[in-house]
Amino acid sequence: MNARAVTTDILLGLLPIVLLIAAWQALVSFGYAPVTLLPPPGQVFGRMVRQILDPTFQQDILATLFRLFAGFAVAVVIGVSIGLAAAANPMINAVVRPIVRVLAPLPKVALYPALLLLLGFNHESKIVLVAADALFPILLSTYYGASTVEQKLIWSAMAAGTSHREILFKVVLPAAAPSILTGCRIGLVISCIVVFLAEMITSTDGLGHVLVTAARTFQTVDMFVPLITISLLGLSLNGALEGLRSYLLRGFPDV
């Protein structure tokens, strides 16, 4: 893949985004959509820049980020440990498998009212919801990665006198790393989505709350700002994870 092809790709990729914004502008300027329903893009992005410099809005972003990272971290820790344990131990597997089979397709948002009643309206209920939603993709991809580790690797480690515990951490975990990181990536996108939804349902701060307040007062411009912000947050977190992935997986073939 040469540099020229990459430039073409990037230009091609920018095209639909540019077209979308152009169509948006056209809808407004030719009077198909009233400005109260669809504010022009210039106004939205101008508002966006002003909001990002505003300390209150920054507080909202920070609150969202805190819940997102807390929930995601819990999901990673629990997901990776259960996934590894289930792959390593048939007994644990026999217990975990049916439970996961039941819980994974359960729409977790429906549990949110229960979490609210049990944990209150503060950070805890939102963090638990984020963790519950991000958990399963991470758990499943860890399990999948760990249970498809090449048997020869494990045999050679055993032949070299490695203990069972050490095999788990020094052979299985690194070998499953690509799969685990793929799961984390899905989990991260989910965390973005879920934290926003939870904040929309009940919250006093955070990006979701900004959207709901704007919707209640029909401030259309302010409704677009949090949506674009969460999209940008998701993109940059995804990029950061991608960077971490290529750093952690340097030397892995074909990832």
**Helix (H) or strand (E) run with residue 94 in it:** helix 90-103
Residues contacting 218, CB < 8 A, separation 6+ = 36
Interaction between residue 127 and another protein (CB under 8 A): no
> Which segment (49-57, 70-78, 135-143, 154-162) binds another protein by CB under 8 A?
135-143
Q: Provide, rounded to whole angstroms, the least separation between the CB of residue 166 and another protein.
A: 28
How many CA atoms does the CB half-sphere of 21 hold within 13 Å? Answer: 10
Q: Which of 186, 241, 248, 249 binds another protein (CB under 8 A)?
A: 186
Who's near 105: CB < 8 A, 6+ residues apart?
none
Contacts of 88 (CB under 8 A, 6+ apart): 146, 168, 172
Minimum CB–partner distance for residue 147 and another protein (Å): 10
In single-letter form, the type of residue at position 66 comes to F
Per the CB < 8 A criterion, the answer to whether 183 and 136 are in contact is no
Residue 143: CB minimum distance to another protein, A: 7
**3 sits near another protein (criterion: CB under 8 A):** no
Scan residues 187-246 and list those touching another protein (CB under 8 A): 187, 189-190, 192-194, 196-197, 200-201, 208, 211-212, 214-215, 218, 220, 223-224, 226-227, 230-231, 233-235, 237-238
> Is residue 8 near another protein by the rule CB under 8 A?
yes
